[in-house]
Amino acid sequence: MGASMGSAPGAPTAGVPAGSKWSVILRGIVAILFGLIILAWPGITLRALILVFGVFAIAAGVFAILSGLRAEGRRDRWLHLAEGVVAALAGIVALGWPAITAFALLYIIAAWAIVTGVMEMVGAFQTRLAATSEWMLMASGIISVVFGILLLVWPHLGLLALVWLIGIYAIVYGIIHLALASTGGAARKAAAV
């Protein structure tokens, strides 16, 4: 039962060798740094996310189109061409209409947070950690789910508020993972998996 959760995407210590806390510690530190950067430059963060996505989507689209032009099979050719056109159009929309892109990003982040949170809550029950560690993993999951639901319920509050929520969420998430690592929960969970 616990072995199946060892690879859960939301489980903070999946695949960690017994006694090793470094992956949990690094995950916590990266989350905190990410959150602090977002809080320091929220407007720039949102614009940068949209810009990077737009450029990436256009580049991916161009390469898919080139791959489609070189494909030998008719089916492969059309699949690559269609994929390339959709990706390039998504990039153009992202760069030309960043507000639409920002709202789409909001919903993607909300879905990700809810799925991650559910996986962490399930992981907390299936790993049979000590009460403290189980509680911290459960708290991380609950925070993720609440964050995702808030984004879905109040998207009109503004995308800059979304950026602040992402920053705060990342910091709290990181702190919980550092606390989980410091209690030895990472080693006990890895040993249970």
HEC letters along 133-186: HHHHHHHHHHHHHHHHHHHHHCHHHCHHHHHHHHHHHHHHHHHHHHHHHHCCHH
Which pLDDT belongs to residue 13? 45
pLDDT tens-digit readout, 127-181: 665 555 777 878 888 998 998 898 888 887 757 777 887 889 889 999 988 988 8
Is residue 113 a part of any domain in this protein? Answer: yes
Mean pLDDT over 64-77 rounds to 82
Is residue 126 a part of any domain in this protein? Answer: yes
Long-range contacts of 56-63 (CB under 8 A, 24+ apart): 56/91, 57/87, 57/88, 57/90, 57/91, 57/94, 58/87, 58/88, 58/91, 58/92, 58/95, 59/91, 60/84, 60/87, 60/91, 61/85, 61/86, 61/87, 61/88, 61/89, 61/90, 61/91, 62/88
Nearest to 93 by CA among 81, 105, 82: 105
Which pLDDT belongs to residue 5? 37
Domain count, the chain: 1
Which pLDDT belongs to residue 14? 43
Is residue 74 a part of any domain in this protein? Answer: no
Mean pLDDT over 30-51 rounds to 86
Which pLDDT belongs to residue 48? 86
Is residue 27 a part of any domain in this protein? Answer: yes
Q: Is the pLDDT of residue 62 over 90?
A: yes
Is residue 18 a part of any domain in this protein? Answer: yes
Which pLDDT belongs to residue 12? 44
Which pLDDT belongs to residue 185? 56
> Which has more confidence, 171 or 122?
171
Is residue 85 a part of any domain in this protein? Answer: no
Going by pLDDT thresholds of 50, 70 and 90, the confidence category of residue 1 is very low
Q: Is the pLDDT of residue 188 over 90?
A: no
pLDDT tens-digit readout, 76-120: 788 888 888 988 998 898 899 888 888 887 888 788 889 988 988
Which pLDDT belongs to residue 186? 47
Is residue 67 a part of any domain in this protein? Answer: no
Is residue 58 a part of any domain in this protein? Answer: no
Enclosing domain of residue 148: 2-41+98-192
Which pLDDT belongs to residue 47? 84
Q: Is the pLDDT of residue 11 over 50?
A: no
> Which has more confidence, 43 or 127?
43
